[in-house]
Amino acid sequence: MMNEKIAPELQEYWAELDYTTPSAIQNSVYDLMKAGRDVVGISPTGTGKTVAYTLPSLEQIEPKAGVQLLILTPSQELAVQVASVVKEWSSQLGLEVQTIIGGANKVRQIDNLKKKPEIIVGTTGRILEIAETKKLKLHQVKTVILDEADQLLEQEQLKTVRQLMSKIPGERQMGFFSATSNELMEDLAKWFNVDPEWIDVTEEDESKGKVLHAYIETPTRKRVEIIRRLTRMEGFKALIFVNNVANLTQAFEKLQYEGISVAVLHSEKYKTERQHALQQFRDGKVDLLLTTDVASRGLDIRGLPYVIQYDLPMSKESYIHRSGRTARMGQTGTVLTLVNDRERREFKKIIAALEITITPLYLYAGELVTERPEIEESTALEAKTKQKGKAKKIKTKEKRETPKKSKAPSLLSVTKDSQTEQPVGLDKKKKHKKKPNKNKGARKPKKE
């Protein structure tokens, strides 16, 4: 077992955290990474990949000898989370960790380098930016880890990663970790001159919790109403994925208007706002966190019972990463997708490619049920509203047809023979009497 091979200081901390059996990815990559081999590690979300690459990497670091471990992530949030985990373990060995991410104060980040950290965790763009100022020296780097490697190797980020790697010695170890892979990961030899050992434990890993994959069919215009009704369920807490910022903002404003505790996290927010929203959600101060795919990778939100897809994921990989935010490390969770009739067919195609069983659910009487009710709650509510409206109209009509009591005689009355209103005191026949010519006014005599 991997935990029996790690340094004594790390073994003590392992026991302190009440960790038991290492996960499949932790066991599989330890010896390879400790020996300095290049590794690709593919494992389901929530199976301890951060610890898997951190422990063997830390054991190769020489204290006070410059930056030797570089961990790259695709987002600021993931960098902060990874750095938090790495700091816990590195402190057992007396090693210093620094986080360098975009959106933060660059001058302060440069100043913190005076502490001479052995480990840098951050986003590629900002690390490259500081490295080019010569304030961050990377010539001592022994190991480079790409966390969520498939995203970091997409075309828009690959160029930046390669630029950064050009500042690092050619003789270095590389680790590529993710829950999914893409075609670009097949070309690692071309991009980075490596021949990595591929470790994919997706099938054998048993640490993943039980997930219910389900959907509710509902018109797009009623999705906010569905979420509002879901929040009435006991213990409901959800990370809600929306495909674009415009739709996210609109849903946020409607939910906030309804008095629901909700926060937002997307790329257009400032770093401090994003961190605050995420921390509020983690601390249970808000029940809902609306986000784009910026939060779909790597984020660990412990005890999260629901992931809701307000919009369909753009790909099967997106579905995997979104659903991975719940049921982490043996827990249970539900991934609930909201679809209309047209989207339901497209959604089933995505699910079929993942070989996942999908369950239709219905929201009835404040609960999620698997059988369609005879009268769904929403339908019953609409029928009740219509019935009330109809009764109100009848009552108003009766009130309108009943003549008001008045001391003075009414000028209008309804005859028994006709429903047409007639002037009071006039003979019915006079209605057709030919009217005399009206006085057109006096005319001036013509001048002769």
Per-domain boundaries in the chain: 2-200, 211-373
pLDDT in tens, 88-116: 999 999 999 999 999 899 999 999 999 99
Q: Tell me if 39 sits within 8 A of 32, measured CB to CB.
A: yes
More confident residue, 392 or 152: 152
More confident residue, 378 or 171: 171
C-alpha to C-alpha distance for 167 and 441, rounded to whole angstroms: 106
Across the range 269-282, mean pLDDT stands at 88
Neighbours of 3 (CB within 10 A): 18
C-alpha to C-alpha distance for 415 and 303, rounded to whole angstroms: 75
Would the pLDDT of 399 be above 70?
A: no
pLDDT of residue 391: 52
Would the pLDDT of 8 be above 90?
A: yes
C-alpha to C-alpha distance for 299 and 396, rounded to whole angstroms: 58
**Which CATH number does the domain 2-200 belong to among 3.40.190.10, 3.40.50.620, 3.40.640.10, 3.40.50.300?**
3.40.50.300
pLDDT in tens, 192-248: 999 999 999 988 876 667 899 999 999 999 999 999 999 999 999 999 999 999 999
Neighbours of 110 (CB within 10 A): 14
Q: What pLDDT band is residue 417 in, cutting at 50, 70 and 90?
A: very low
pLDDT of residue 416: 36
**What burial class does residue 209 get, using C-beta atoms within 10 Å of its C-beta: 0-12 exposed, 13-18 middle, 19+ buried?**
middle
**What burial class does residue 319 get, using C-beta atoms within 10 Å of its C-beta: 0-12 exposed, 13-18 middle, 19+ buried?**
buried
Q: What pLDDT band is residue 283 in, cutting at 50, 70 and 90?
A: very high
> The whole model's pTM is what?
0.76
C-alpha to C-alpha distance for 213 and 231, rounded to whole angstroms: 19
pLDDT of residue 334: 95
Q: Tell me if 228 sits within 8 A of 256, measured CB to CB.
A: no
Which of 7-11, 122-126, 153-157, 372-376 comes out lowest in average pLDDT? 372-376
Neighbours of 331 (CB within 10 A): 16
Q: What pLDDT band is residue 11 in, cutting at 50, 70 and 90?
A: very high
More confident residue, 215 or 396: 215
- Token readout for 92 is 């057992």
DSSP-derived secondary structure for 243-254:
SSHHHHHHHHHH
Would the pLDDT of 55 be above 60?
A: yes
Residues 6+ apart with CB under 8 A from 195: 38, 189
Q: Which amino acid is at 85?
A: V
Would the pLDDT of 82 be above 50?
A: yes
Interhelix angle 49-58/24-34, rounded to 10 degrees, is 20
Would the pLDDT of 413 be above 90?
A: no
Would the pLDDT of 184 be above 80?
A: no
Q: In this prediction, what percent of the chain has a pLDDT beyond 70?
A: 83
pLDDT of residue 266: 87
| Angle in degrees, CA 26, 28, 32, rounded to 5 | 105
The DSSP element (H or E) to which 70 belongs, if any, is strand 69-73
pLDDT of residue 286: 94
The DSSP element (H or E) to which 271 belongs, if any, is helix 271-282
Identical fold between 2-200 and 211-373: yes
Q: What pLDDT band is residue 436 in, cutting at 50, 70 and 90?
A: low
C-alpha to C-alpha distance for 278 and 264, rounded to whole angstroms: 8
Would the pLDDT of 76 be above 60?
A: yes
pLDDT of residue 427: 41
Would the pLDDT of 35 be above 60?
A: yes
pLDDT of residue 385: 54
pLDDT of residue 155: 80
pLDDT of residue 425: 37
Q: Which CATH class is domain 211-373?
A: alpha beta
